Amino acid sequence: MAAAVRIDGKAAAAAVLGRVAEEAARLVAEAGVVPGLAVVIVGEDPASQVYVASKAKRAEECGFRSFRHALPAETSEADLLALVARLNADPAVHGILVQLPLPRHISDAAVIRAIDPDKDVDGFHPVNVGRLAAGQTAEAFVPCTPAGAMIMVRDILGSDLSGLEAVVVGRSNIVGKPMAQLLLAANATVTIAHSRTKDLPAVCRRADVLVAAVGRPEMIRGDWIKPGAVVIDVGINRLPPEAGASKGRLVGDVAFDEAMTVARAVTPVPGGVGLMTVALLMGNTLRSAARAAGREPPAF
């Protein structure tokens, strides 16, 4: 069997961002509405700082207004909730993203619930979770990582997955569960597997679409993969440094080289699904702005 297609996350993300920038310019020209994204970070976590900076930069490149709120780690929950309330009420802000995890003295769940569901561009609010679970994918804000992963699946297999079996390894609220809902909405037969699943390799081998989101480096081996399957690797793991190296290399949850000899298409790590996450965040913000202007939001 020929080697699999290496799915190009950079190209896929660029296509989404190009469309976002085009639609944003049209919204400004025709409705006078500039999409606005507010990003809130509490504390000085270096990885979060880098991620927040990349989101702000991408928003500006798309023609959005970017509002960055950097708060000290000792910020109280009440003060953070007050900021969220102000952003909810601000008509210039169409998307609100609070960078997680928050310091231990602040409840992630309380802050997520406080965000206006129609500005919840992360897709974590219980209202958006419910919309997605009810099959209301057009009304819901879908979490950005599974939304991006689903675009990659569609690019290979089309929008109708009738007759195909999908297995999602991982049951997180951020990736595993919403990914399963999107696959169901595309008519796939879906299994959610996890650490307690009996004979996980055998379950994975049934999958025409295999999504790995467990956070365990290279756990899914080549002989777990059905020949011709589409493999979407959401994991990002850093291995221990090799002798003489300052830091270890990044790998996914799938043994990439092994998967490439069996599958039809595989997302690499890095360079795969991760690049789609920020792109779909911009897409959700644009959709919110379009709704605020009384226009039909674009679909991605």
Encode burial over 64-76: b for 16+ CB neighbours within 10 A, e otherwise.
bebbebebeeebe
Q: How far is CA 264 from the centre of its chain?
A: 23
Mean pLDDT, the chain, integer = 95
Structural domains in the chain, CATH included, are 34-117 (3.40.50.10860), 144-275 (3.40.50.720)
Q: Do residues 271 and 13 make contact, with C-beta atoms less than 8 angstroms apart?
A: no
pLDDT at 50 exceeding the cut of 90? no
Per-residue pLDDT tens over the stretch 58-117: 999 999 999 999 999 999 999 999 999 999 999 999 999 999 989 999 999 999 999 999
Strand partners of residue 48: none
Cβ atoms within 10 Å, residue 125? 21
For this structure, is 122 an active site residue?
A: yes
Instruction: Name the band, by pLDDT with cuts 50, 70 and 90, for residue 1.
Output: low
Taken in order 14, 274, 122, 125, is the CA torsion positive or negative? positive
Per-residue pLDDT tens over the stretch 185-227: 999 999 999 989 999 999 999 999 999 999 999 999 999 999 9
- The one catalytic residue in 55, 119, 177, 226 is 55
Share of the chain above pLDDT 90, in %: 89
Q: Compute the average pLDDT of residues 274-299.
A: 96
For this structure, is 99 an active site residue?
A: yes
- The one catalytic residue in 118, 120, 122, 253 is 122
Q: Do residues 207 and 265 make contact, with C-beta atoms less than 8 angstroms apart?
A: no
Instruction: Name the band, by pLDDT with cuts 50, 70 and 90, for residue 51.
Output: confident
For this structure, is 155 an active site residue?
A: no
Tell me whether residue 244 is exposed, middle or buried, using C-beta atoms within 10 angstroms of its C-beta: 0 to 12, 13 to 18, 19 or more: exposed
